Amino acid sequence: MTDVTSPVVDEKPCFGANPQIFKLGLGKQHILAHDIGQGSQCRNLPTCRCEGLDLHFWRKMCKNCGCRMDEHDVVLPNEFDHAQIVIGRLFGAREHFEKVLTKPGMYKPNEQNETKENNMMSTRSQPTAVYNYKMASSDSESERGGSNNKENVQYAWAPLPDKNLVSRYMKALPEDERPLVGSKGEQNRKSRLQFQLPLYDCNVEDARFVEEKDVKTLQNFVENVRNNVIGVGRVVEIGKDSDNYGDNENTNEFEKSMTAALKGLKIGETDCKDCNEMMETGDIGVECHHHSTTDTYHPNCFRCETCRQLLVDNIYFFYKNKYYCGRHYADQLYPRCAGCDELIFANEYTFAEEKSWHFDHFACYKCDFKLGGSRYMTRDENPFCLDCYLKHFAKTCDTCQSKIGPDEKRLNYNETHWHAEERCFQCVQCKMNLIGKKFMLKNHKLLCSSQCKANYNSANPDDQL
């Protein structure tokens, strides 16, 4: 039998010290205010064996599988589209989009809001997107189906009601990013909508953990987004007048005259702002007119500066001359709670594990015990109280069969673990302390030498090693 060297004692502390928190917020208890998406299938199947979305009462996580809410196939009431909700709120037209929404927790407009937002629409052009858009399939799609006849296809979203431009635009995207109804592309769009455009970032009613004193801050944030930040990239044919962006009542006479003079004029080639490659006249591109800035992108290059995801439905948030998704624009202005995923507007909050948390949301991932001022362990970047960590994750000593605490030293050999103490790591025959010495392991028995093995076998004929 081959002797093996003793494993090295692991003396590194197993637990992270919590930042000193002596004052916890006395926030009100929150109750799940809606059941939208309840039972929705997880998109991570088959790797995730989820029985359906069961949302935690304040985390945006499924209790069944631990996956995020945006990783489930959530369907809004009346098959409403998530993008329409966001556009309705941030472009001042929610009375147009949200009257049909009656589920608890969803915003229902009142007459005062309708009047205010109608006034905003009079000074801003509406997005040109269309939903559940049906059109003839492209030649390439027909060929894949083995037919020369073009059949109707339906897109969950299209940038504008122009079948020629839509067809060319979709061809410019990767196949799994085309929102064809019933395809992987449609599922990817749904996931990106929920991830990039959290509803609780753009409406006070959905932001359930904003303190009363911070509501005004959120309202000002949303108002600034509506007036100065959000926009929609327009699908255009490079070199051709794609839209009359200057035709609104706020445009001065000089701008109107310049627009009229340039109407129909071919501008010519331009560079994609992302990849810097030339876009020739006649190519399909995404054009952004934001204040005095005009930028053009290849359809597949129009991505968030931070996460590099394709900007869903071409909705962008313009900040410091760069284009972001809604989530990562907001993250640059305010910390986001790693627990509930909502923005933190309070001046005081917890910062632990390189993340920000509402005071009450820095809690055990299993039992929700508040960890402020307490010791904790992390697993898969989630915090756990010591009791839950011991119960679910701690190693079991092979000798005494007790859990090895996070603050206890341990010895490891392959997949076997022991307390780094003489009582648990000694020769089964002569009781010699084996820490730091050579040992043999046979049938979960520790031995110091072949002689002790022979002596053990002689003394225990019914338990031969």
pLDDT in the model for residue 119: 45
pLDDT in the model for residue 253: 62
The residue assigned the tokens 């051709």 is 240
pLDDT in the model for residue 69: 82
Over the stretch 130-150, which tens digit does the pLDDT of each residue have? 999 999 876 545 444 444 556
- Residue 117 clears pLDDT 80, i.e. is over it: no
Over the stretch 206-239, which tens digit does the pLDDT of each residue have? 888 888 889 999 999 999 999 999 999 999 999 8
324 and 390, same domain (yes or no) = no
40 CB-near residues (< 8 Å, 6+ apart): 52, 53, 72, 73, 74, 75
Lowest mean pLDDT among 28-42, 231-245, 373-387, 419-433: 28-42
314 and 404, same domain (yes or no) = no
Let me know if residue 161 belongs to a domain: yes
83 and 10, same domain (yes or no) = no
Please compute the mean of the pLDDT values over residues 245-272 and round it to a whole number. Answer: 56
- Hey, what are 92's tokens? 């001042």
Please compute the mean of the pLDDT values over residues 167-172 and round it to a whole number. Answer: 96
Using the 3D structure, point to which of 272, 307, 330 is the last residue of a domain.
330
96 and 244, same domain (yes or no) = yes
287 and 405, same domain (yes or no) = no
Pairing of strands 382-385, 130-136: unpaired
82 and 177, same domain (yes or no) = yes
- Residue 78 clears pLDDT 90, i.e. is over it: no
Whether the model pTM is above 0.85: no
pLDDT in the model for residue 401: 93
- Residue 295 clears pLDDT 60, i.e. is over it: yes
Over the stretch 262-274, which tens digit does the pLDDT of each residue have? 444 445 688 999 9
- Residue 105 clears pLDDT 80, i.e. is over it: no
pLDDT in the model for residue 94: 53
pLDDT in the model for residue 111: 45
pLDDT in the model for residue 296: 95
pLDDT in the model for residue 306: 97
Q: Is the dihedral of CA 384, 26, 339, 332 positive or negative?
A: negative
Please compute the mean of the pLDDT values over residues 77-83 and round it to a whole number. Answer: 75
Range of the domain at 117: 76-330
Let me know if residue 372 belongs to a domain: no
295 and 433, same domain (yes or no) = no
Choose between 282 and 36: higher pLDDT: 282
99 and 241, same domain (yes or no) = yes
CATH of residue 453: 2.10.110.10
Over the stretch 93-103, which tens digit does the pLDDT of each residue have? 554 445 444 33
288 and 428, same domain (yes or no) = no
Cα dihedral value 172, 173, 176, 179, nearest 10: -100
pLDDT in the model for residue 41: 85
pLDDT in the model for residue 357: 95
Let me know if residue 41 belongs to a domain: no
Let me know if residue 91 belongs to a domain: yes
Let me know if residue 253 belongs to a domain: yes
Using the 3D structure, point to which of 288, 315, 330 is the last residue of a domain.
330
- Residue 112 clears pLDDT 50, i.e. is over it: no
- Neighbour-count burial of 14, counting CB atoms closer than 10 A to its CB (0-12 exposed, 13-18 middle, 19+ buried): middle
Let me know if residue 241 belongs to a domain: yes
114 and 207, same domain (yes or no) = yes
Using the 3D structure, point to which of 310, 330, 350 is the last residue of a domain.
330
228 and 96, same domain (yes or no) = yes
- Residue 87 clears pLDDT 90, i.e. is over it: no
- Residue 312 clears pLDDT 70, i.e. is over it: yes
Average pLDDT, the chain: 80
pLDDT in the model for residue 399: 93
118 and 258, same domain (yes or no) = yes
Rg (CA), the chain: 30
Lowest mean pLDDT among 118-122, 271-275, 365-369, 459-463: 118-122
Let me know if residue 60 belongs to a domain: no
Lowest mean pLDDT among 121-135, 145-159, 355-369, 384-398: 121-135
Choose between 17 and 281: higher pLDDT: 281
Let me know if residue 31 belongs to a domain: no
User: How many domains does the chain fold into?
Assistant: 2
pLDDT in the model for residue 150: 65
